[in-house]
């Protein structure tokens, strides 16, 4: 069995619809992909309260990250007069695609960039809880090591059975 040519295995880009037009974001260069991945990782660390790599974030500020993430689609969007929120949403969607995959980018796109819309809604969570789908892990018992019934001490009288 031989390896297939890699172009047959990978998708040709990300297709983002805005109004009547669909923009194709081409696969980024390896350099852009590595930089986007590093920036997203640094941002995640910072969001979790850790210390982000200042050099990575400084490098991001030096370059036009949105232009790099969108590739040729960036110039097309600017020429077509897309709005700032549309351009920003497209660029962040492209960054999610670069750092993760198409499915994650679609979830981000469909949520309108709102993280609260990425999580299941309350009714879905309740339905999962009712069906037992929310957690397959049984509840833990007490780990305190204490017993709920007192254990008779030495020399305690026992009652006759009868």
- Is residue 105 in a domain? yes
Task: Judge residue 138's burial from the number of C-beta atoms within 10 Å of its C-beta, 0-12 exposed, 13-18 middle, 19 or more buried.
Answer: exposed
Number of domains present in the structure of the chain: 1
pLDDT band (50, 70, 90) for residue 135 = very low
Percent of the chain as helix, strand, coil, to the nearest 5: 50, 5, 40
HSE-CB of 34 using CA atoms within 13 angstroms: 4
- Is residue 161 in a domain? no
- Is residue 160 in a domain? no
| pLDDT, mean of residues 60-81 | 89
Structural domain that includes position 113? 10-123
Cα–Cα distance list, 118 to 88, 108, 125 (Å): 18, 7, 13
Q: How many Cβ atoms sit within 10 Å of the Cβ of residue 128?
A: 13
- Is residue 98 in a domain? yes
- Is residue 162 in a domain? no
Helix 84-99 and helix 102-110, axial crossing angle in degrees, nearest 10: 150
pLDDT greater than 50 at residue 136: no
Q: Which two tokens stand for residue 67?
A: 């232009």
Among 40, 95, 41, 89, which residue's Cα sits nearest to residue 69? Answer: 95
**Across 11-15, 30-34, 94-98, 107-111, least confident range:** 11-15
Give 110-123 pLDDT, tens digit per residue: 999 887 777 655 55
Please give the DSSP secondary-structure letter assigned to residue 81. Answer: T
pTM over 0.75? The answer is no
pLDDT greater than 90 at residue 76: yes
Q: Hey, is 25 helix, strand or coil?
A: strand
Contacts of 105 (CB under 8 A, 6+ apart): 14, 93, 94, 96, 97
In whole angstroms, what is the distance from residue 136 CA to residue 134 CA?
Answer: 7
- Is residue 142 in a domain? no
- Is residue 36 in a domain? yes
- Is residue 41 in a domain? yes
For the chain, how many residues are written?
A: 162
pLDDT band (50, 70, 90) for residue 17 = very high
Q: How many Cβ atoms sit within 10 Å of the Cβ of residue 90?
A: 23
pLDDT band (50, 70, 90) for residue 71 = very high
């Amino acid at each position: 069995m031989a390896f297939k040519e890699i172009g047959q295995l990978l998708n040709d880009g990300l297709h983002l619809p805005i109004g009547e037009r669909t923009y194709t974001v081409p696969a980024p260069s390896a350099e852009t992909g590595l930089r986007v991945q590093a920036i997203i990782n640094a941002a995640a660390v910072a969001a979790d309260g850790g210390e982000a790599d200042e050099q990575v974030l400084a490098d991001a500020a030096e370059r036009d990250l949105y232009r790099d993430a969108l590739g040729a689609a960036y110039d097309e969007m600017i020429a077509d007069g897309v709005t700032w929120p549309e351009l920003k949403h497209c660029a962040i969607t492209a960054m999610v695609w670069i750092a993760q995959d198409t499915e994650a980018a679609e979830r981000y796109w469909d949520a309108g960039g709102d993280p609260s819309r990425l999580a299941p809604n309350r009714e879905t969570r309740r339905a999962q809880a009712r069906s037992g789908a929310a957690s397959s892990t049984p509840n833990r018992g007490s780990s305190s090591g204490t017993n709920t019934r007192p254990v008779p001490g030495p020399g305690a009288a026992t009652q006759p059975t009868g």
